[in-house]
């Protein structure tokens, strides 16, 4: 069998990339139908905040229409919208293209037992310091702290590192190691996120073994 080069591995990976998941925020949870929630635009964060004050308990969610960087008319920004959402116990989800001036971002109430990202843990710390948290948002924080989800918050794709147990398993399988090394950041994160968010040590070990076998066969998750 001819020796595979890094370039040939990357070409093989590129052919498979269209079917890969992209785990981030709530992206791992299939979104509800876009027809089931409204698409709304708010000129600034205060209007978005006013909407949630009246609707956070009853609304299923919204597609928030957000202006792109060079749009003619500014709207609430993504970061502003996320801060407000966290205050009321909501969370961001899927993002979609909309038009030349805007994209739409899905915001919904946080699901029971949903995982927290370290980014949002840090955001809540800043919002708490600024005394912006509302009772609904604080209740979600308290629940996450009580059941351990707060301490198990996962890293973002830009900061997540390969854990030592996974790295050691890869070193013991040269073919898997080479294939993993050739993956792009999103493809690597799909593996790393699943490992980092696994609670039980025995389940984590089993998952690592499964992933090494997948990678050795040049497969992704």
Q: What is the pLDDT of residues 161-205, one digit of tens each?
A: 999 999 999 999 999 999 999 999 999 999 999 999 898 999 999
CA distance 166 to 2: 27
For residue 193, being part of any structural domain is answered with yes
Tell me which of 119, 147, 175 is where a domain ends: 147
For residue 29, being part of any structural domain is answered with no
User: Which residue range forms the structural domain that includes residue 101?
Assistant: 34-147
Using pLDDT thresholds of 50, 70 and 90, give the confidence band for residue 25: very low
Tell me which of 147, 179, 208 is where a domain ends: 147
pLDDT of residue 14: 52
Using pLDDT thresholds of 50, 70 and 90, give the confidence band for residue 90: very high
pLDDT of residue 24: 32
pLDDT of residue 42: 97
Closest by CA to 118, choosing from 147, 85, 158, 90, is 158
CA distance 45 to 212: 45
For residue 46, being part of any structural domain is answered with yes
CA distance 157 to 187: 10
Is residue 96 domain-shared with residue 142, that is, in the same domain? yes
Domain count, the chain: 2
Mean pLDDT value across residues 39-61: 95
Is residue 60 domain-shared with residue 123, that is, in the same domain? yes
pLDDT of residue 12: 55
Is residue 41 domain-shared with residue 125, that is, in the same domain? yes
Tell me which of 147, 180, 208 is where a domain ends: 147
Over residues 97-116, the pLDDT tens digits come to 999 999 999 999 999 999 99
Element (H, E) at 66: strand 62-67
Question: pTM for the whole thing?
Answer: 0.73
Is residue 179 domain-shared with residue 197, that is, in the same domain? yes
Q: Which two tokens stand for residue 26?
A: 């709530």
CA distance 23 to 67: 24
Over residues 202-220, the pLDDT tens digits come to 999 999 999 999 999 999 9
Is the confidence at residue 3, as pLDDT, over 50? yes
pLDDT of residue 161: 92
For residue 143, being part of any structural domain is answered with yes
- 3-state SS class at 143: helix
**Residue percentage of the chain with pLDDT more than 70:** 84
The mean pLDDT of the chain is 87
* Contact predicate 175/216, CB 8 Å: yes
Mean pLDDT value across residues 129-140: 98
């Amino acid at each position: 069998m001819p020796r595979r080069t890094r370039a040939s591995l990357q070409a093989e990976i590129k052919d498979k990339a269209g079917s890969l998941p992209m785990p981030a925020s709530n992206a791992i949870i299939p979104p509800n139908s876009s027809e089931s929630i409204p698409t709304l635009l708010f000129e600034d964060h205060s209007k978005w905040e006013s909407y949630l004050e009246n609707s956070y308990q009853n609304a299923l969610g919204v597609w928030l229409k957000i202006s792109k960087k060079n749009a003619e008319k500014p709207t609430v920004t993504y970061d502003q919208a996320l801060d407000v959402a966290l205050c009321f116990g909501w969370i961001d989800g899927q993002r979609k293209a909309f038009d030349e001036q805007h994209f739409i971002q899905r915001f919904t109430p946080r699901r029971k037992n949903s995982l927290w990202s370290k980014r949002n843990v840090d955001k809540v710390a800043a919002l708490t310091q600024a005394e912006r948290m509302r009772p609904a948002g604080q209740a979600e924080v308290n629940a996450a702290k009580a059941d351990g989800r707060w301490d198990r918050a996962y890293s973002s794709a830009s900061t997540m590192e390969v854990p030592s147990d996974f790295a050691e398993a890869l070193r013991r399988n040269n073919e898997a190691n080479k294939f993993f090394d050739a993956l792009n950041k999103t493809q690597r994160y799909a593996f790393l996120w699943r490992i980092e968010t696994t609670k039980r040590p025995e389940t984590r070990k089993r998952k690592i073994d499964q992933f090494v076998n997948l990678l050795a066969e040049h497969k992704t998750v």
